[in-house]
Amino acid sequence: MGFISAIILLGILIFIHELGHFLVAKRSGVLVEKFSIGFGPKLFSKTVGETEYALSAIPLGGFVKMYGESLESEVEEELKDRSFAHKSLKARFAIVFAGPFFNFMLAVFIYALIFMAGTPRFLASVGGTVESSPAAEAGLVEGDIILAMDGSEVRYWDEMSQYISQKPGEAINLEIDRDDKIINISVTPNIVTDKNIFGEEVQVGRIGITRGELSETVRTLNPITAIGKGFTQTYKVSELMIMGVVKIFQSVVPADSLGGPIMIVQMAKDSAESGIISFLSFMAIISINLAILNLLPIPVLDGGHLMFFTVEAITRRPVSVKVREYANMVGLTLLIMVMFFAFYNDIMRFFK
């Protein structure tokens, strides 16, 4: 089940990524010779028009092979205007950028679907209190529903929890619904040292309550609103991922948090077992991750090509073949090292 879920997930993400390159290349008049999902031995191939479409055995990537991809390629004079390398800088930039862009748009589309379908969200209700905690001493009891905090309305558990965590050692005035009666209670969160999503130690507030079981399905029936929220959610996740990459290089986030295909298989299995909404959310996150990784300025990745195009735009001449060859060798070596390290982390997780 886990392997099949991962194949479905990766297959869709790779297809969307390569579809971006393919469609913009076609739109720009480039001759696309091959569209492949996967690498290695071909499982299936069919030529339609001038393009061969293939499904290959190793589902860890894909590629779109375009005619005349580099200036040193031999190009027939009558096909020169259909060569990728002989297209304008603007067209080449758009073709390369389209892959990551389509992955971002897939995430937006998935989040919009989720918002339109509706997502369950826990209400700010108290399931219980920890003995001798600030909540217990303030008089909070099981079944209390928190309506407002310091005069601001609150409805959901995550909103309430976030607000409390930002107020370590500061008194918070709570407006509570208890058996249809409104009461006011003041509680001062303990100062607790915790770790954020990047593994950094931070001081947060905790009052010692457990979540109640009350929840509701949040629906966004208006497609326009849902798409807007899709863009917002994609931006927020992208921002967190970029911060995560930066913090890995800063050694704030441990390098052993990096995962590879084995971790993706396990997480795909877990998300699929949790339901379609969970699986779609995971797909959106991986799609954003794929887009950001491809935009890193590393030669052989889309971001490396965009970096060369940027240099070309500034210097008004293409980067020399020799420089690109050396850069590509360095980039490929770096990618192989990262892949081996990710596989190593995956394997070591099984022994923890």
77 has catalytic annotation: no
Alpha-carbon distance 92 to 78, whole Å?
A: 20
Alpha-carbon distance 38 to 23, whole Å?
A: 18
- For 324, other C-beta atoms within 10 Å of its C-beta total 19
Pairing of strands 126-129, 119-122: unpaired
Strand-pair partners of 295: none
Q: Residue 28: name the closest of 95, 85, 75, 73 by CA.
A: 95
- For 88, other C-beta atoms within 10 Å of its C-beta total 9
Residues 6+ apart with CB under 8 A from 235: none
Alpha-carbon distance 173 to 148, whole Å?
A: 8
Catalytically active residues are 18
